[in-house]
């Protein structure tokens, strides 16, 4: 039994692009993956700077009950109700974490662990309660299935067929995130690095924080279908942390999420094609490999610096 | 504030809805007999599961109290995700679902995760939360990749692997129970023999280093024990929810306990209680997995303790603020009454509600309510006045009782003494002192008032030239109004 298949470059790199049908199918998958990486990478940069990386993890777990409840109330996998339910649950999750932190003697990390695990447990129980007569797939939410993107129904508006709907939704969310981030860039920047100064010049720090949480919930929910609950945190953290080994300034890091998104998607796609495993997991593995390489060889890496200093 | 109430109310309601649902689902099985079967514990499978949940709750609670006090909660979460590739590798190595090899694989993966965290901390300047996120997602992705690969290659018995995601109580074997038991034994032995050292290293690492306690070694053993605990509980609650069992019972105990020993005992009790009742509910519901229910029960317990614990619980705090607020209102009314009487030169005893309305700037119903409060507290009596010169139909007339009179004098004395103190000692302008005195008059104790009095040499009048009723006068009843 060969657990790791033989690596055949022509099979891995050219076979997915051999025929027009395959190209049409796979380019949709790639585009979806890229949109997910880019959108989460943009939001993730601010999340990492604010030292809230695990908040992304917490929120991505916490939206599970929201999705299930939306599914139970509307009875379908429509995008609108799902997004609404998930955003509400994500906000509820982040509110509860902050409330616990402020109104009880529980530490920040413990309150995070308490809230998101309870939300997640609630979600899993709700799914299991309905397991008999609903086809909400736990695996799909937990691991995501980006390879099935082309199967989504087409977006038909006014009699015209505009193509794949989930691509449209993800594209719109990605565009919204980019526009919002560039519009409110200054606000996000200052509140991330010096919240006290921002407060003293009269900016609504709390509202900006809330706005970022909303962006986080939005990008998490949107990428959920393709990468799943747990790997969302990989897409949030890896791009900006990897970029920080190459660039010092925030705008460069933000721009760097674009090529990194492309790299992750193509790398992950071909890795998954080679190993025949989950594409989302392969994307996260590619991201970790890129991260390890940049830790070792990145120009701003700490190892690099100490090595340079030694001879002098 | 209201938002929070709604959020938590929703949480509570949804969990109670859950319980109702489970009972509903098991109705055809007659849940009473089910409950009876559980409580009698005659069924060996029930006994096994309950024992497993009990052991897991105890060990998670014990080690969890160190996790929470050392702020390692998210570390536990990362560790529980990081064991996944180890499980997959263990499975491939053994070729089947053999618990022993899975545990070894998970142990190695957990160890590797801890090493990666240390390396990241040493060689990069990434913040701790980001490095936790990195290790968590990288290991988890590797695990998922291996698991999907296993499914594709088509090992015969891979169905059991899914149980590690959410736990599967029915698949609990006696091997698992042994593992849980050994873990509990190891944890309790470690804690018993190193109780003092752990206490010192946890709360004052600098000091413990200076007296020669091997901090790093203890920390490492603690990490390994957390990993053991996570791995042995996987079969019951699954990868994702193990960290909940580490944190929630211990956090619940931290709300109540003041000392480490009570903390440990309470936390393990909460863990065990949640374990048993979670399995009980899942037994009632038949198709429900025990892991999430155990977590939900412990979260519910946490909420209950958070709201209803004595002294500092939210309910008690709320009641306290309320009673405090009503006391301040009563005191303000009394003070207003004193001032009204003073304006009239202490010749009458009766105060009309109109006068209080003018003095306090309040509407009639509000003043009526205040008078009613004073009457219930036994500080005043009230009457309906005969209709006379005033345009109001029939207004309430209030007379202070001796007790109320004494109280009012005390309040006025506090207020005026403080004003005098501020002008004389702190050199405030006389027109600045009123606001400050309005606040402090409600909290000045008898002892402080005596001190101020002594300091100001028993003054008779305040900066505005008004009388300060002295304590001897109040007690002997030589007051203008009383005479």
Tell me the three-class secondary structure of B32-69, residue by residue.
Answer: HHHHHHHHHCCCHHHHHHHHHHHHHHHHHHHHHHHHHH
Question: CA B31, B270, B176: angle at the middle one, nearest 5?
Answer: 75
Q: Which tokens go with B278? A: 């979670």
Chain A neighbors of B244, CB-CB under 8 A? 113-114, 117-118, 121
CA A267 – CA A81 distance, rounded (Å): 33
For residue B400, list its beta bridge partners.
B380
The whole domain housing B363 covers: 325-385+393-476
Tell me the three-class secondary structure of B433-453, residue by residue.
Answer: HHHHHHHHCCCCCHHHHHHHH
Regarding whether B61 and B112 lie in a shared domain, the answer is yes
Regarding whether B332 and B241 lie in a shared domain, the answer is no
Chain B neighbors of A223, CB-CB under 8 A? none
- Which residue in chain B is spatially nearest to A238 when comparing CA positions? B134
Say if B315 falls within a structural domain: no
Q: What is the pLDDT of residue B10?
A: 47
Tokens 């514990």 belong to: B41
Among B165, B139, B146, which Cα is nearest to B234's? B165
For residue B352, list its beta bridge partners.
B397
Regarding whether B245 and B333 lie in a shared domain, the answer is no
Cβ A117–B136 below 8 Å, yes or no? no
Q: What is the pLDDT of residue B59?
A: 92
ipTM: 0.87
Which among B68, B79, B141 is the top mutation candidate for probing chain A, defined by the most A β-carbons within 10 Å of its own β-carbon?
B141
Chain B neighbors of A110, CB-CB under 8 A? 68, 71, 73, 247, 250-251
Regarding whether B333 and B282 lie in a shared domain, the answer is no
Among the partner residues B72, B133, B291, nearest to A53 by beta-carbon distance: B133
Residues composing chain B: 483
Say if B301 falls within a structural domain: yes
* B382 three-state secondary structure: strand
Say if B319 falls within a structural domain: no
CA B244 – CA B21 distance, rounded (Å): 23
Regarding whether B73 and B40 lie in a shared domain, the answer is yes
| C-alpha Rg value of chain A to the nearest Å | 21
Residue B483 binned pLDDT confidence (cut-offs 50, 70, 90): very low
Provide the shortest C-alpha distance from residue A28 to chain B (in Å).
Answer: 22
Q: Does A73 touch chain B (CB under 8 A)?
A: no
CA B471 – CA B481 distance, rounded (Å): 15
For residue A156, list its beta bridge partners.
A161
Regarding whether B29 and B164 lie in a shared domain, the answer is yes
Q: Does A234 touch chain B (CB under 8 A)?
A: yes
| CB interface of A with B, residues 283-312, below 8 Å | 283-285, 287-288, 291, 295, 301-303
Residue with more model confidence, B367 or A228: B367
* B263 three-state secondary structure: helix
Cβ A112–B74 below 8 Å, yes or no? yes
Residue B392 binned pLDDT confidence (cut-offs 50, 70, 90): low
C-beta atoms surrounding B28 within 10 Å = 8
- Which residue in chain B is spatially nearest to A129 when comparing CA positions? B288
Q: What is the mean pLDDT of chain B?
A: 80
In chain A, the domains with their CATH numbers are 15-148+162-304 (1.10.3470.10)
Say if B314 falls within a structural domain: no
CA A276 – CA B147 distance, rounded (Å): 11
Among B122, B125, B119, which Cα is nearest to A48's? B125
Among the partner residues B77, B129, B306, nearest to A53 by beta-carbon distance: B129
Regarding whether B267 and B157 lie in a shared domain, the answer is yes
Q: What is the pLDDT of residue A285?
A: 92
Q: Number of helices (H) and strands (E), helices first, in chain A?
A: 14, 2
Q: Which of B276, B309, B342 is the last residue before a domain boundary?
A: B309
Say if B482 falls within a structural domain: no
Cβ B25–A113 below 8 Å, yes or no? no
Cβ–Cβ < 8 Å for A167, A152: yes
Chain B neighbors of A54, CB-CB under 8 A? 74, 77, 129, 132-133
Cβ B130–A238 below 8 Å, yes or no? no
Say if B316 falls within a structural domain: no
Q: Does A118 touch chain B (CB under 8 A)?
A: yes
pLDDT > 90? residue B250: yes
Cβ A241–B126 below 8 Å, yes or no? yes
Q: What is the pLDDT of residue A259?
A: 92
Regarding whether B463 and B350 lie in a shared domain, the answer is yes
The percentage of chain B sitting over the pLDDT mark of 70, rounded to a whole number, equals 83
Cβ B137–A291 below 8 Å, yes or no? no
The CATH code of the domain that includes B337 is 1.10.10.10
Cβ B241–A117 below 8 Å, yes or no? yes
Say if B109 falls within a structural domain: yes
Q: Which tokens go with A47? A: 């999340």
Provide the shortest C-alpha distance from residue B391 to chain A (in Å).
Answer: 51
Q: Number of helices (H) and strands (E), helices first, in chain B?
A: 22, 3
Q: What are the φ/ψ torsions at residue B345 (nearest 5 degrees)? A: 75, 25
Regarding whether B244 and B341 lie in a shared domain, the answer is no
- Tell me the torsion sign for CA atoms B285, B287, B290, B296: negative
Which among B145, B150, B287 is the top mutation candidate for probing chain A, defined by the most A β-carbons within 10 Å of its own β-carbon?
B145
| CB interface of A with B, residues 79-108, below 8 Å | 92, 95-96, 99, 103-107
Chain B neighbors of A114, CB-CB under 8 A? 244, 247-248, 251, 299, 302
Say if B455 falls within a structural domain: yes
Among B64, B5, B76, B8, which Cα is nearest to B274's? B64
Cβ A281–B314 below 8 Å, yes or no? no
Q: Which of B112-116, B211-215, B472-476 has the lowest mean pLDDT?
A: B472-476
pLDDT > 60? residue B1: no
CA B223 – CA B70 distance, rounded (Å): 11
* B328 three-state secondary structure: helix
Chain B neighbors of A124, CB-CB under 8 A? 166, 241, 289, 291-292
Among B237, B271, B56, which Cα is nearest to B164's? B237
> What average pLDDT score do residues B150-159 get?
64
Among the partner residues A56, A92, A277, nearest to B145 by beta-carbon distance: A277
Residue with more model confidence, B319 or B28: B319
Q: Which tokens go with A257? A: 């999420």
CA B271 – CA B192 distance, rounded (Å): 19
Regarding whether B302 and B342 lie in a shared domain, the answer is no
Q: Does A34 touch chain B (CB under 8 A)?
A: no
Q: Does A128 touch chain B (CB under 8 A)?
A: yes
Tokens 């006994």 belong to: B47
CA A150 – CA A171 distance, rounded (Å): 14
How many domains is chain B built from?
2
Chain A neighbors of B126, CB-CB under 8 A? 241, 244
Q: Does A179 touch chain B (CB under 8 A)?
A: no
Q: Which tokens go with A1? A: 């039994």
Chain A neighbors of B255, CB-CB under 8 A? 104-106
Q: What is the pLDDT of residue B252?
A: 92
Please name the residues in contact with A238: beta carbons below 8 A apart, sequence gap of 6 or more: A41, A44, A260, A264, A284, A287, A288, A290, A291, B134, B137
Angstrom CA distances, A298 to A46, A241, A251, A254, A294, stand at: 21, 11, 18, 17, 4
pLDDT > 80? residue B385: no
For residue A157, list its beta bridge partners.
A160
Q: Which of B309, B333, B354 is the last residue before a domain boundary?
A: B309
Among B63, B355, B25, which Cα is nearest to B231's? B63
Angstrom CA distances, B192 to B62, B189, B198, stand at: 11, 5, 10
Cβ–Cβ < 8 Å for A55, A216: yes
Provide the shortest C-alpha distance from residue A97 to chain B (in Å).
Answer: 11
Q: What are the φ/ψ torsions at residue A105 (nearest 5 degrees)? A: -75, 10
Q: What is the pLDDT of residue B251?
A: 92
- Which residue in chain B is spatially nearest to A274 when comparing CA positions? B149
Cβ–Cβ < 8 Å for A129, B37: no
Provide the shortest C-alpha distance from residue A56 to chain B (in Å).
Answer: 9
Cβ A121–B126 below 8 Å, yes or no? no
Regarding whether B413 and B304 lie in a shared domain, the answer is no
Q: What is the pLDDT of residue B480?
A: 52
Regarding whether B165 and B57 lie in a shared domain, the answer is yes
Among B45, B57, B27, which Cα is nearest to B268's? B57
Q: What is the pLDDT of residue A286?
A: 93
Question: CA B177, B101, A144: angle at the middle one, nearest 5?
Answer: 95
pLDDT > 50? residue B11: no
Q: Which residues of chain A have pLDDT under 50?
A: 1, 312
The distance between the two most distant Cα atoms of chain A, rounded to a whole number of Å, is 71
The CATH code of the domain that includes B48 is 1.10.3470.10
Chain B neighbors of A89, CB-CB under 8 A? none
The distance between the two most distant Cα atoms of chain B, rounded to a whole number of Å, is 103
Q: Does A151 touch chain B (CB under 8 A)?
A: no
């Amino acid at each position: 039994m060969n657990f790791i298949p033989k690596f055949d470059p022509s099979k891995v790199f050219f076979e997915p692009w051999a025929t027009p049908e395959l190209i049409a199918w796979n380019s949709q998958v790639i585009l979806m993956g890229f949109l997910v990486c880019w959108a989460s990478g943009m939001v993730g940069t601010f999340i990492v700077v604010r030292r809230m990386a695990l908040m992304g993890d917490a929120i991505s777990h916490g939206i599970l009950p929201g999705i299930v409840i939306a599914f139970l109330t509307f009875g379908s996998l429509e995008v609108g109700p799902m997004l609404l339910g998930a955003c509400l649950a994500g906000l509820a999750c982040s509110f509860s974490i902050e409330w616990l932190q402020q109104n009880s003697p529980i530490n920040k990390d413990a309150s995070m662990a308490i809230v998101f695990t309870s939300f997640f447990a609630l979600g899993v129980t709700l799914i299991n309660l309905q397991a008999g007569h609903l086809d909400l797939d736990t695996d799909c939410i937990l691991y995501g299935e980006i390879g099935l993107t082309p199967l989504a129904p087409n977006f038909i508006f006014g009699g015209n067929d505009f193509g794949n709907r989930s691509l449209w939704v993800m594209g719109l969310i990605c565009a919204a995130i980019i526009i919002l981030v560039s519009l409110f860039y200054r606000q996000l920047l200052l509140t991330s690095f010096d919240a006290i100064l921002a407060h003293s010049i009269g900016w609504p720090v709390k509202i900006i924080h809330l706005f970022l949480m909303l962006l986080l919930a939005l990008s998490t929910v949107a990428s959920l279908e393709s990468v799943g609950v747990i790997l969302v945190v990989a897409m949030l953290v890896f791009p900006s942390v990897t970029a920080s080994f190459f660039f010092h300034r925030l705008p460069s890091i933000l721009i760097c999420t674009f090529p990194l998104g492309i790299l992750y998607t193509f790398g992950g796609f071909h890795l998954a094609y080679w190993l025949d495993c989950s594409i989302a997991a392969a994307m996260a593995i590619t991201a970790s490999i890129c991260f390890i390489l940049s830790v070792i060889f990145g120009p701003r890496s700490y190892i690099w610096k100490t090595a340079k200093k030694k001879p002098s | 504030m209201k938002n929070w109430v709604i959020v938590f109310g929703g949480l509570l309601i949804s969990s109670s809805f859950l319980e109702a649902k489970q009972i509903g689902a098991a109705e055809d099985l007659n849940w009473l007999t089910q409950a009876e079967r559980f409580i009698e514990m005659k069924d060996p499978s029930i006994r096994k599961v309950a024992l497993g949940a009990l052991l897991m709750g105890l060990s998670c609670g014990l080690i969890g109290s160190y996790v929470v006090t050392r702020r390692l909660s998210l570390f536990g979460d990362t560790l529980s995700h990081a064991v996944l590739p180890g499980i997959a590798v263990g499975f491939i190595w053994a070729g089947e679902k053999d618990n022993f090899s899975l545990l070894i694989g998970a142990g190695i993966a957990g160890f590797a995760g801890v090493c990666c965290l240390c390396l990241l901390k040493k060689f990069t300047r990434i913040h701790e939360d980001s490095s936790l996120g990195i290790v968590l997602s990288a290991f988890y992705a590797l695990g998922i990749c291996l698991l999907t690969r296993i499914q594709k290659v088509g090992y015969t018995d891979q169905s059991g692997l899914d149980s590690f995601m959410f736990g599967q109580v029915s698949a609990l074997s006696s091997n698992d129970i042994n593992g849980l038991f050994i873990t509990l034994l190891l944890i309790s032995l470690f804690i018993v023999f190193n109780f003092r050292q752990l206490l010192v290293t946890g709360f004052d690492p600098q000091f413990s280093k200076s007296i020669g306690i091997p901090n790093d070694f203890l920390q490492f053993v603690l990490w390994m024990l957390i990993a053991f605990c996570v791995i042995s509980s996987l079969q019951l609650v699954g990868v994702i929810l193990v960290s909940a069992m580490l944190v929630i019972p211990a956090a619940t105990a931290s709300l109540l306990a003041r000392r480490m020993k009570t903390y440990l005992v309470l936390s393990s009790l909460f863990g065990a209680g949640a374990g048993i009742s979670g399995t009980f509910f899942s037994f009632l519901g038949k198709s429900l997995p025990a892991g999430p229910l155990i977590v939900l029960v412990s979260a519910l317990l946490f909420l209950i303790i958070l709201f209803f614990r004595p002294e500092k619980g939210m309910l008690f705090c709320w009641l306290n603020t309320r009673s405090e607020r009503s006391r301040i209102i009563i005191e303000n009314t009394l003070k207003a009454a004193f001032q009204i009487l003073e304006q009239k030169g202490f010749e009458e005893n009766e105060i009309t509600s109109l006068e209080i309305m003018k003095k306090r700037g309040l509407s009639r119903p509000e003043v009526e309510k205040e008078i009613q409060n004073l009457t219930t507290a036994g500080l005043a009596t009230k009457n309906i006045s005969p209709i006379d010169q005033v345009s109001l139909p029939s207004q309430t007339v209030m007379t202070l009782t001796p007790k109320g009179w004494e109280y009012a004098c005390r309040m006025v004395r506090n207020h005026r003494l403080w004003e005098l103190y501020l002008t004389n000692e702190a050199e405030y302008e006389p027109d600045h002192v009123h606001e400050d005195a309005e606040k402090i008059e409600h909290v000045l104790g008898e002892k402080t008032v005596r001190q101020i009095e002594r300091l100001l040499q028993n003054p008779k009048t305040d900066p505005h030239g008004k009388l300060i009723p002295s304590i001897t006068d109040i007690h002997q009843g030589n007051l203008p109004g009383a005479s």
